[in-house]
Chain A
Amino acid sequence: GPKVLQIPSHQIIDMGQMVTLNCDPVSNHLYFYWYKQILGQQMEFLVNFYNGKVMEKSKLFKDQFSVERPDGSYFTLKIQPTALEDSAVYFCASSLGFTGGAETLYFGSGTRLTVL
């Protein structure tokens, strides 16, 4: 099936540094998402993105977070500066939109971010 690729699979950084998580969505998809999963907890919605703009963000999407997809390349999540509580697995997802009465999200395998 369609694949969403996330790079890197693991990232370790020091608190206060900047980090960029990269996502290569399914090629013809138009809607993009980031979800965050703290160890042992459920995946939680962070933000969705369409046509170059954030559509909606949750309270977990702090001011230090930003997303973009310059010129149809990677969809990125940037955290600057990072904090200890940002340690989590970040999942990227993409979709074609609401078709056939539903929207199917395709997820990447996640980037495990460890902030020291």
Chain B
Amino acid sequence: QQQVRQSPQSLTVWEGETAILNCSYENSAFDYFPWYQQFPGEGPALLIAIRSVSDKKEDGRFTIFFNKREKKLSLHITDSQPGDSATYFCAASLGQGTGSKLSFGKGAKLTVSP
């Protein structure tokens, strides 16, 4: 059973627009939700993360909105730039100390057109 689901699978926006990537999860015990960004030929890199006690986390142009009741979260990328074109993975874990296993979504490919 897939623990973390992402939608859409791919998204194209124009430069300057806001891209919204959605994520939902099954396990209500998940406590830590990182988003990873992956460029072609590279490994996934942590972009931004949120804990379930918060409903919003902001870092520059990247914001996570979190709804614990609905078990949903979204990543908003404002003023999208061509350099943001990448695959974005939503992940979740119990967040209880070292060795927490991450459950990943399948990823969403974002293309920002100039």
Q: Is A28 located at the chain interface by the 8 A CB criterion?
A: no
Structural contact, B41 and A109, CB atoms closer than 8 A: yes
Q: List 21 A-B contacts (CB under 8 A).
A: A6-B43, A35-B104, A41-B106, A42-B103, A42-B105, A43-B89, A44-B104, A45-B103, A55-B99, A58-B101, A91-B44, A95-B98, A101-B51, A103-B97, A103-B98, A105-B46, A106-B43, A106-B46, A107-B43, A109-B42, A110-B43
CB interface residues, A 94-116, toward B, < 8 Å: 95, 97-98, 101-110
Q: Is B4 located at the chain interface by the 8 A CB criterion?
A: yes
Interface 0/1 of A71-113, CB less than 8 Å to B:
0000000000000000000010101011001111111111000
Most buried by A among B32, B98, B105: B98
CB distance from B92 to the nearest CB of A (A): 11
Q: Which residues of B contact A70 (CB under 8 A)?
A: none
Structural contact, B43 and A4, CB atoms closer than 8 A: yes
> Taking beta carbons and an 8 Å cutoff, which residues of A are in contact with B?
1, 4, 6, 31, 35, 40-45, 48, 50, 55-56, 58, 91, 93, 95, 97-98, 101-110
Structural contact, B95 and A50, CB atoms closer than 8 A: no
Which residue of B32, B99, B102, B103 is within 8 Å of A50 (Cβ)? B99
